[in-house]
Amino acid sequence: MDLIATILVDGLIYAGWLFIVSVGLTLVFGVLNILNIAHGSLYAIGAYASASLVGAYFAAGGEAFPFGSYLALILAAVLVAVVLGPLLERGLLRYFYGRDEVLNVLVTYAVFLILEDVMKLIWGVNPYFVYEPYTLLGDVEIGPLFYVGYDFAVIAAAIIVGLAVWLTLNRTQVGKVVLAVIHDAEISQTMGVNVKRIYLGAFMAGAFLAALGGALTAPMISVTPGLGVNVIIVAFAVVIIGGLGSVPGAAIGALMVGISRAASVHLVPEAELFIIYFVMAIVLMFRPEGLFAKTQARKI
Amino acid sequence: MIKKHITGALGAALLAGGLAGPAAAQDDTFKIGVITFLSGQAAESFGVPAWNGGKLLVDMLNEGGKLPAPYDTKGFGGMNIEVVVIDEAGGATKQVQEFRNLVQREEVDAVVGYVSSGNCLAVPPVADELKAFTILYDCGTPRVFEDGAFEYVFRTAAHATMDNVSLARYLKSRDFDVPSFAGLNQDYAWGQDSWADFTGAMKQLYPDAEVKTALFPKFGAGQYGTEISALLRERPALVHSSNWGGDLQGFLIQATARGLHKRSQVVLAAGDHVIPQLGNKMPDGIFLGARGVNGLAANARGGELKELTDTLWMAYEDEYDTFPVQAPFRMWQALLGLKTAVEKAMADNGGKKPTDEELAAAMKGLSWDAPSGRIEMMLADGHQAIQPNAIGTTKWNEETGKMELVDVEYYAARCVNPPAGIKSADWLAQGFPGAECD
């Protein structure tokens, strides 16, 4: 297979995974104006929850219909969003709305650390494995290389997630209300919008997307403590490239990171880590707000 | 009334703990500070299994008569063994502080610890400053004693050069054709050093082999799809990896699903510890080492040490329902070495509990038997161990439902470790001068 095609396929697979993780982060920032460091923990909890649920599914005789394990993956992400979303947003974050952004970063960082320990208390330090969903979709032969069908399912999931978020925001009444809240929460409230509910919904959606990223990753890795640390760093790079709060920006950012990283691994493997942050630095040199963020006048 | 009770309880607690100060060292107890990962990524692979094994050994020694001679005597020279276990997570700065606490406040008689090479490099200068007898039981970096000299610090496990020299020798002894090879190793000191050792050894044994690519994904990367594509495209005859823990498990799951092991021979420098978790997901035909004659290789060895090895193996299986991999073996060789040194020092000082100086003198150049073979403190003026090593090939046994190691080859310590007075990198570059192979 041509090298360029290999780089594109590898880049797309990585970008698909990265987009699912990043779009939730950018959504929460866009609506709540909170840079949620605990997004990495929600990703890791999604991975653990899916490992537990898929394991329980097969233990309960799921071999008869193994494809049902994909539903278990999605259900795990829903559970994380339903349980932790309200707990974090209503129980903690709402007390910090309108406060300094740095304070919110510190608060979510504290949540991140707490959740890291909570995961150890619940799941221990031993790894969890759920290989079955990873191999169910067979192989895909592209040129001389074999890919796992599951990798392309993750790309498909990313496209579905991207379209769903974009269409919800831009083509539905709920989306218009959310955009109004993003534009000005106070005016929206005076117009009768239940801003609290919008904040809660947006945070739960962000938590679902983080957990979905973890749930879809779980079948291809061993789920161990510390899973969320690396993810949150690279997800930040993606949303900063695309512009904080921009869904198309997260997509473009994920593609830029995915493809540049793949090119580096194939051509200059020593620069694999460097290239992600090099791309970010170049973008920020010319677009300090990121590629898709709107320049905003500072409110006085 | 309630206040009085509280005041009384507080007073008693203060007298028993804080005001009374640290318990004075007693001559009928030998107190060890054990530092190993109880949390973080190295806990599941190394730290926890190591201490699981260590705890079994301490209990057996304290009971006495549970181990074959010469380890059938109670405790250390009759002294009861007491252990304080500290989590190694948190970085070198924290570990230096923990070390000071163990020595100065807990007043331990010896420290046994450190999986992380970073901690192994940070602690020895402090150990010498405090004149505290210290055993490094696990870490692999050769730099500890090749770049420094310490009076009170000893490492009871061979350094990592042995692992990769053994792999290269295994390939050669099996006439494995290696026109080209590639590597995927973690991007930190361990991965970089392992790859340098492996390429150094291959340069001597396979001078014409071409290095196709050297990949260094970051530690904890998790996703290796792009790296696996690169390895599949390059089609090397062999892929080397020193990955460990979750990184190795993730790499093997993804690489196996894409058939990398069918296109290239996969060789793992330290891969035995993921077998209990992966089971039959670990493909057949992988060449792997266990950083010593540890785990499955020790169990398959037999010979004079079979009784000692079986003692560890059976006790571990009974207690934890899984077999011991490399880390418990290294903990056993450290604690059995410490027992040998304590008893040697007591024989020399008339049976008193040895001081740090007496312990250091007894440990220097010592040799003793462990389940992993004969351990000899031969390098770095008697402070650094060499030990035998083994490499084998994975094969799943359908009947027993267990992974086995077949075609195991055992290497004498002097065959795969550099001799005294030469640095590992120089030894490799000069073509293994002084190596004594059968």
The tens digit of pLDDT for each residue in B242-271 reads 999 889 999 999 999 999 999 999 999 999
Whole-number Å distance between alpha carbons of A126 and B48:
9
pLDDT of the residue at B117: 87
Domain boundaries, chain B: 27-159+310-386, 161-303+389-429
- Which residues, in sequence order, are bridge partners of residue B180? B210
Q: What is the mean pLDDT of chain A?
A: 91
Give yes or no for residue B1 having a pLDDT over 80: no
Contacts of B218 in chain A (CB under 8 A): 230, 272-273
pLDDT of the residue at B15: 40
Q: What is the mean pLDDT of chain B?
A: 92
Instruction: Tell me the pTM.
Output: 0.87
pLDDT of the residue at B411: 96
Residue B373's SS3 state is strand
Give yes or no for residue B43 having a pLDDT over 90: no
Place of tokens 């692999």: B140
Structural domains for chain A: 3-286 (1.10.3470)
* Tokens coding B260: 């990398």
Answer yes or no: are the C-beta atoms of B55 and B315 closer than 8 Å. no
How many C-alpha atoms does A163 have within 13 Å on its Cβ side? 6
Query: Tens of pLDDT along B367-416?
Result: 999 999 999 999 999 999 999 999 999 999 999 999 999 999 999 999 99
Give yes or no for residue A179 having a pLDDT over 70: yes
Give yes or no for residue B3 having a pLDDT over 90: no
pLDDT of the residue at B16: 41
Superfamily of domain B161-303+389-429: Response regulator (3.40.50.2300)
Whole-number Å distance between alpha carbons of B114 and B117:
7
Nearest to B250 among A14, A220, A262 (CB): A220
Answer yes or no: are the C-beta atoms of B82 and B29 closer than 8 Å. yes
Answer yes or no: are the C-beta atoms of B278 and B250 closer than 8 Å. no
Contacts of B246 in chain A (CB under 8 A): 127, 221-222, 224
Place of tokens 């405790």: B75
Whole-number Å distance between alpha carbons of A77 and A247:
20
Give yes or no for residue B128 having a pLDDT over 70: yes
Q: What are phi and psi of B437, to 5 degrees?
A: -105, 150
Contacts for A224 with CB less than 8 Å, ≥ 6 apart:
A125, A127, A128, B41, B44, B245, B246
Q: Are strands B110-113 and B29-36 parallel, antiparallel or unpaired?
A: parallel
Has domain B27-159+310-386 been given CATH number 3.40.50.2300? Answer: yes
Listed residue (A45, A78, A67, A72) closest to A56, CA to CA: A72
DSSP code, position B122:
H
Query: Tens of pLDDT along B283-329?
Result: 999 999 999 999 999 999 888 899 999 999 999 999 999 999 999 99
Nearest to A148 among B216, B230, B257 (CB): B257
Query: Tens of pLDDT along B320-359?
Result: 999 999 999 999 999 999 999 999 999 999 999 999 999 9
Nearest to B225 among A3, A14, A225 (CB): A14
Q: Decide whether B27-159+310-386 matches B161-303+389-429 in CATH topology.
A: yes
Q: Are strands A139-142 and A145-148 parallel, antiparallel or unpaired?
A: antiparallel
Work out the angle between the directed axes of helices A3-32 and A247-267 (0-180°, nearest 10): 150
Sign of CA dihedral B417, B418, B424, B425: negative
- Give the best residue of B188, B192, B215, B226 to mutate against chain A (max A CB count within 10 A): B226
